[in-house]
């Protein structure tokens, strides 16, 4: 899914501007409900929790908040929906500047560095050390902890975490005479797409999403930035290869690469309507995609993203963070809530309800999830793929670099006169000016 990106410039502007109108976050109705809940719980410490995304994701979050509120009588959490990650981040920044930020918020992992360096986040290291026996920090899956630390300090706990995976319409593959066990490599994806084109279909409808691009760079043995984060590395051969691959398949009509704000929605619709046999998507979409497949009468399987030199994916999704200007009482409430939301029991619940990764080893090894995986193997793929996962870059300028990269990749694919190497070289030159600051 294409997402609005947070920029360091946006953060700086919002931190200097008090936008009181954004402070409440939700609609007038939700604000009224929040006041009513607070009034009814006057003896409790009331805190706000802001979150991103709706549908099954929102259902899961609201259920867990309701259960937390009912589980004890000290704290009351008022949960408010704030749009996608870009919307949420902008509203949290504005509310922080206005002095009324939520005590707890979802935070997309690649933005952790920007928020932490700005002073907006409470460091969680002392909280984790104090409650180490209860928290069991080493129970969190190591591959999901890379974006939780900034400068070796803990700022978030993995919550609804994801990796991109491949969704396959097995019925389309069988009808085309293709082995539903594949494709497992870039070459096989090209071969499958050629056969599907002969049947009047396309292999995949694919938006230019940097999250997917990061995966293909990893599969090619490369990285997005230099080790010190000061220079672009995506214009090296491993970063050029994915764009050359996409341009070739797009030019030959083997895949479809829409651009613009609706590109992600178009990819989803083409897959749902059986125009495309494959789609890349977050593991958070497993439950919803199964419903679509069942409703449209086709069989769905999930798989690793196809390999080039090797498999590889970035992690994604959000972690729970605490803002730094809350009162001591609110921070205590926020910490209890964060611990509860990231517990073994809740990561099992949200994984089964939505498809996000179970974040704890104890959850993956539980009898409940073993039985769930046996009955629903589509959910297990992302867990297995974690072996090849890596954290996302967290440099302050990286969100702006993503925007530059998106434009460059789109230009390389659409413009016959622009080579991928030239487009990425130009993007790297712009990125280096930002990264070197």
Q: Are residues 92 and 149 in the same domain?
A: yes
Q: Are residues 303 and 352 in the same domain?
A: no
As to burial, measured by CB atoms within 10 angstroms (0-12 exposed, 13-18 middle, 19+ buried), residue 408 is buried
User: Between the CA of residue 174 and those of 187, 250, 255, 296, 326, what are the distances in Å?
Assistant: 19, 24, 19, 16, 57
Please check whether residue 113 lies inside any domain of the structure.
Answer: yes
Structure confidence at residue 8 (pLDDT): 45
Pairing of strands 316-322, 104-108: antiparallel
Q: Are residues 294 and 426 in the same domain?
A: yes
Structural domain boundaries enclosing 125: 8-162+316-382
Eight-class DSSP state of 291: H
Q: Are residues 309 and 320 in the same domain?
A: no
Q: How far apart are CA 241 and CA 231, in angstroms?
A: 19
Q: Is the pLDDT of residue 161 over 50?
A: yes
Query: What is the token pair recorded at 403?
Result: 């925007």
Q: Are residues 65 and 207 in the same domain?
A: no
Tell me phi and psi for residue 121, to 5 degrees. Answer: -105, 145
Q: Are residues 411 and 362 in the same domain?
A: no
Summarize the confidence of residues 295-311 as an average pLDDT: 98
Please check whether residue 252 lies inside any domain of the structure.
Answer: yes
Q: Across all residues in the chain, what is the average pLDDT?
A: 91
pLDDT band at 23 (very low <50, low <70, confident <90, very high): very low
Summarize the confidence of residues 359-378 as an average pLDDT: 96
Structure confidence at residue 367 (pLDDT): 97
Q: Are residues 281 and 428 in the same domain?
A: yes
Summarize the confidence of residues 107-125 as an average pLDDT: 95
| pLDDT single digits (tens) 331-358 | 999 999 999 999 999 999 999 999 999 9
Residue that has been written with the tokens 């947070």 in this structure: 6
CATH number, domain at 293? 3.40.190.10
Q: How far apart are CA 85 and CA 257, in angstroms?
A: 23
Q: Are residues 66 and 95 in the same domain?
A: yes
Please check whether residue 392 lies inside any domain of the structure.
Answer: no
Q: How far apart are CA 335 and CA 115, in angstroms?
A: 18
Please check whether residue 3 lies inside any domain of the structure.
Answer: no
Structure confidence at residue 124 (pLDDT): 98
Show the CA angle centred on residue 72, arms to residues 70 and 77, nearest 5°. Answer: 65
DSSP 61-83: HHHHHHHHHHH-SSEEEEEEE--
Please check whether residue 404 lies inside any domain of the structure.
Answer: yes
Q: Are residues 255 and 138 in the same domain?
A: no
Alpha helices per DSSP H over 99-231: 112-117, 125-130, 132-135, 170-175, 186-198, 210-219
| pLDDT single digits (tens) 254-298 | 999 998 889 999 999 999 999 999 999 999 999 999 999 999 999
| pLDDT single digits (tens) 226-254 | 999 999 999 999 999 999 999 999 999 99
Contact residues for 36 (Cβ-Cβ < 8 A; gap 6+): none
For 27-51, b/e burial (b = at least 16 CB within 10 A) is eeeeeeebeebeeeeeebbbbbbbb
Tally of domains within the chain: 2
User: Between the CA of residue 128 and those of 10, 104, 135, 335, 362, what are the distances in Å?
Assistant: 31, 16, 7, 9, 18
pTM for the whole structure: 0.85
Structure confidence at residue 436 (pLDDT): 87
Q: Are residues 148 and 41 in the same domain?
A: yes
Q: Are residues 49 and 144 in the same domain?
A: yes
Contact 187, 309 (CB under 8 A): no
Structure confidence at residue 424 (pLDDT): 98
Structure confidence at residue 34 (pLDDT): 52
| pLDDT single digits (tens) 75-97 | 999 999 999 999 999 999 999 99
Q: Is the pLDDT of residue 27 over 50?
A: no
Please check whether residue 356 lies inside any domain of the structure.
Answer: yes
Q: Are residues 377 and 411 in the same domain?
A: no
Please check whether residue 2 lies inside any domain of the structure.
Answer: no
Summarize the confidence of residues 49-58 as an average pLDDT: 93
Structure confidence at residue 19 (pLDDT): 32
Please check whether residue 246 lies inside any domain of the structure.
Answer: yes
């Amino acid at each position: 899914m294409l997402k609005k990106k947070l920029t360091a410039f946006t953060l700086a502007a919002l931190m200097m501007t008090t936008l009181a109108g954004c402070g409440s976050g939700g609609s007038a109705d939700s604000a009224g409900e929040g006041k009513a809940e607070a009034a009814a719980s006057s003896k409790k410490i009331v805190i706000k929790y802001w979150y991103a995304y709706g549908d099954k994701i929102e259902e899961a979050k609201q259920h867990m908040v309701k259960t937390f509120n009912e589980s004890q009588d000290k704290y009351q959490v008022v949960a408010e929906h704030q749009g996608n990650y870009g919307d949420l981040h902008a509203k949290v920044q504005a509310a922080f500047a206005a002095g009324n930020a939520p005590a707890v918020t979802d935070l997309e992992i690649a933005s952790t560095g920007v928020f932490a360096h700005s002073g907006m986040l409470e460091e969680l290291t002392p909280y984790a050390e104090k409650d180490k026996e209860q928290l069991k920090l080493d129970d969190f899956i190591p591959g999901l902890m890379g974006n939780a630390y900034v400068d070796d300090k803990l700022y978030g706990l993995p919550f609804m975490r994801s990796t991109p995976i491949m969704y396959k319409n097995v019925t389309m593959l069988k009808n085309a005479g293709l082995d539903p066990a594949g494709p497992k490599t870039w070459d096989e994806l090209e071969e499958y797409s050629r056969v599907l084109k002969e049947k009047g279909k396309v292999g995949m409808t694919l938006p230019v999403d940097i999250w997917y691009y990061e995966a293909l760079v990893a599969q090619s043995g490369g990285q997005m930035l230099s080790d010190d984060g000061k220079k672009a590395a995506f214009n090296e051969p491993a970063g050029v290869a994915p764009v050359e691959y996409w341009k070739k398949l797009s030019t030959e009509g083997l895949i479809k690469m829409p651009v613009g704000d609706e590109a992600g929605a178009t990819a989803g619709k083409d897959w749902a309507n059986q125009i495309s046999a494959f789609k890349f998507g977050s593991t958070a979409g497993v439950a919803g995609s199964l419903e679509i497949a069942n409703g449209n009468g086709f069989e769905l399987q999930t798989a690793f993203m196809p390999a080039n030199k090797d498999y590889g994916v970035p992690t994604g999704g959000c972690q729970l963070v605490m803002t730094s200007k809350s009162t001591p009482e609110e921070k205590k409430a926020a910490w209890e809530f964060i611990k509860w939301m990231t517990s073994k029991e809740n990561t099992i619940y949200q994984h089964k309800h939505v498809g996000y990764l179970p974040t704890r080893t104890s959850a993956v090894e539980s009898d409940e999830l073993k039985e769930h995986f046996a009955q629903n193997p589509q959910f297990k793929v992302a867990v297995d793929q974690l072996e090849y996962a890596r954290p996302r870059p967290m440099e302050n300028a990286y969100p702006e670099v993503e925007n530059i990269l998106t434009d460059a990749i789109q230009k390389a694919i659409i413009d016959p006169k622009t080579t991928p190497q030239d487009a990425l070289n130009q993007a790297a030159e712009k990125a280096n000016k930002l990264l070197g600051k």
